Structure 1
């Protein structure tokens, strides 16, 4: 019960709003010309530098970081004093975006349990169906006489394990070997006629064909065919977790938007112009 309560976007919005209001109130009450840089600020600046550069800053670099931080702080304070943060579309969009991110992150704070994930997976199992794939080698022969050339080459390829097959055929931009290729991928490279013919072949150590493609003729050695299938939960567990948490974030954002529309009274112009 409590986990659902904390995931409620309206609850998150109230908490965030209260925190922002309190921070703004404290800032206004304590506002002065003093810019206080704490040791924690310095440590954070140094940490951010190290994460980008792969090493800690030297004393000169650290002083530059602090100076830049102070300059940014005084500029932000003066901009706020002049009201430059109001009615700015970029700032408005950024604030709305930050609120959305905060609510989405709060929605995924509590890790889901295994039973919860499995139940969610079973309801969407078809979405995780693995595609059918084929692994094969091919030798390409171009031109009108490619079919006859392929037949002659197949007669010479008695030893399926020899590497001599790579020296046969004509050069092309197609890969010689395809590993776990999808039907769509094969069709995109070779054309639908080749795909249909490949569907009718079984995995075998011998060369089969010739098969006609958009470009010519091919000898094919089918190494492995993997049919489409529905996976077990354990095989896609991490993917299911990521998808589940993403759905929570999207749902939280949608609920927040709905709650906000109910919270605020929206007044639109009464003119007859299209909105």
Structure 2
């Protein structure tokens, strides 16, 4: 079977449909009448397994009997609620049932393991998404505007002291900001120092103290140690991310194929004027 066939959502939907049918068969019994509740051995085993996962021990005979009684009570009330139509026109129930249908499809697609070549092809087709951003190593000295009558003059004094060999750790004002940052992206720097901080670094020389650079906190002298430009990613470094993205995209395709398949069994009739409804919403 070719890799292109393996990537077809309709094939996945067929597999999922078979699994859904198997699950439905497991939880239902064709020989059970509507007015009859049958607690099968598989149901009892399931109740016992759920209890054991929660309490880290198997249930006693009395506890298991109580679990069965609770299941029967739940089943009786569930069936009566359905008979009374309590599930109809209930927005919460409708949304929860929709979510359960979609979650089931998502869980099943997660179980599909694509071959490495499928993921490599997906990676190649979306290479721009996985480009590694530029990374910056820098040192900074912080100056609090409120702590100096003339912060620009304080920065010039610090620059002169640096040229005389004074350690950067002895200069500037105290803060929680790190003085030495490595492997930072522009987004990370903007999150740390405020929007626009990283863009000011583009014109600074490399390997020497420069500035002042303004941040959300004040002013900084900055030493750009190194800047690694943006570059393509290696598949091995982002394989787990590629798998996640592939699964997410396949899930969307499967959910759409699932909906289209179910939708084809229904005839749609819209009664009412949609433009009138839009006007009423706009007036509210």
TM range (shorter): 0.7 to 0.9
SS of match in other structure, 2:154:
helix
SS of match in other structure, 2:49:
helix
Alignment equivalent of 2:160, drawn from 135, 155, 160: 155
**Matched residue, 1:20:** 24
After the TM superposition, which residues 40-79 of structure 1 pair with which residues of structure 2 at under 5 Å, given as runs? 41-50=47-56, 56=57, 67=66, 70-79=69-78
Task: Tell which deviates more after alignment, 256-265 or 182-191.
Answer: 182-191
After the TM superposition, which residues 151-190 of structure 1 pair with which residues of structure 2 at under 5 Å, given as runs? 151-157=156-162, 164-172=167-175, 174-187=177-190, 189=193
Task: Identify unmatched segments of 5+ residues in structure 2.
Answer: 279-284
**Matched residue, 1:198:** 201
Q: 1:119 to 1:271 in 2, by over 3 A?
A: closer
Q: 1:216 to 1:96 in 2, by over 3 A?
A: closer
For the 8 Å contact 1:9–1:255, the answer to whether it is kept is yes
Post-superposition offset of 1:127? 0.7
TM-score under structure 1 length normalisation: 0.75
Post-superposition offset of 1:46? 1.1
SS of match in other structure, 1:91:
helix
**Matched residue, 1:100:** 102
SS of match in other structure, 1:79:
helix
Task: Tell which deviates more after alignment, 107-116 or 66-75.
Answer: 66-75
SS of match in other structure, 1:223:
strand
Task: Identify unmatched segments of 5+ residues in structure 1.
Answer: 51-55
Q: What is the alpha-carbon distance in structure 2 between the residues aligned to residue 26 and residue 5 of structure 1?
A: 34
Q: What is the alpha-carbon distance in structure 1 between the residues aligned to residue 172 and residue 236 of structure 2?
A: 44
| RMSD, aligned α-carbons | 3.7
TM-score under structure 2 length normalisation: 0.73
For the 8 Å contact 2:12–2:254, the answer to whether it is kept is yes
2:118 pairs with 1:119: no
Post-superposition offset of 1:203? 4.4
Q: State the number of aligned residues.
A: 263
